């Protein structure tokens, strides 16, 4: 089994050493045992694959907790693709809910910006007034 130091693993995975240590603390990747002779820990090549998996999962919106669940599914014998699809579908629903909330926020901001005179004293600013006295 090919192994490497943490700095080499970090370089190959295009992350910082602290990222690897953070993933270890969060239980996303295993920290290799320290050799008895006091040398460097040896990371298996699979660590790079896991780090890339974690980063890609984050890129599409999965939290570290959710990514840990996906890694567990990936490692579990007998896991069906439907299990992973269910996780991804739930994440998509969450993303679509957030998009809806962001659209509402955008509409509200457009409304207050349109009502703002853009000049004059601050105590006449409609944006400040709305923030201080929101409608129930």
- Per-residue confidence (pLDDT) for residue 51, from 0 to 100: 96
Q: Provide CB contacts within 8 A for 93, sequence distance 6+.
A: none
Number of neighbouring beta carbons within 10 Å of residue 20: 23
HSE, CB side, 13 Å, CA atoms: give it for residue 103: 6
- Per-residue confidence (pLDDT) for residue 105, from 0 to 100: 95
Given a cut of 60, whether residue 64 has pLDDT beyond it is yes
Q: What percentage of the chain carries pLDDT values higher than 70?
A: 98
Region for 27 from its dihedrals, namely left if φ exceeds 0, alpha if ψ lies in -120 to 50, beta otherwise: left
- DSSP state string for 62-114: --HHHHHHHHHHHHSTT--HHHHHHHHHHHHHHHHHHHHHHHHHHHHHHHHHH
Given a cut of 60, whether residue 71 has pLDDT beyond it is yes
Which of 1-5, 25-29, 49-53, 109-113 has the lowest average pLDDT? 1-5
- Per-residue confidence (pLDDT) for residue 1, from 0 to 100: 66
Confidence of residue 4 (pLDDT cuts 50, 70, 90): confident
Given a cut of 80, whether residue 115 has pLDDT beyond it is yes
Any idea which architecture 1-79 has in CATH?
Answer: Orthogonal Bundle (1.10)
- Per-residue confidence (pLDDT) for residue 94, from 0 to 100: 97
- Per-residue confidence (pLDDT) for residue 136, from 0 to 100: 52
10 Å CB burial of residue 127 (0-12, 13-18, 19+) is: middle
């Amino acid at each position: 089994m090919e192994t490497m130091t943490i700095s080499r693993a970090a370089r190959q995975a295009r992350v910082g050493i602290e990222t690897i240590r953070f993933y270890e603390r969060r239980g996303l990747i295993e920290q290799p045992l320290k050799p008895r002779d006091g040398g460097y820990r040896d990371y298996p090549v699979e660590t790079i694959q896991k780090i890339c998996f974690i980063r890609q999962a984050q890129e599409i919106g999965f939290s570290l907790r959710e990514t840990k669940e996906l890694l567990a599914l990936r490692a579990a014998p007998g896991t069906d693709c439907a299990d992973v699809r269910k996780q991804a579908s739930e994440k998509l629903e969450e993303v679509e809910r957030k998009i809806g909330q962001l659209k509402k926020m955008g509409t509200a901001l457009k409304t207050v910006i349109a009502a703002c005179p853009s000049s004059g004293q601050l105590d006449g600013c409609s944006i400040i007034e709305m923030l201080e006295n929101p409608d129930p």
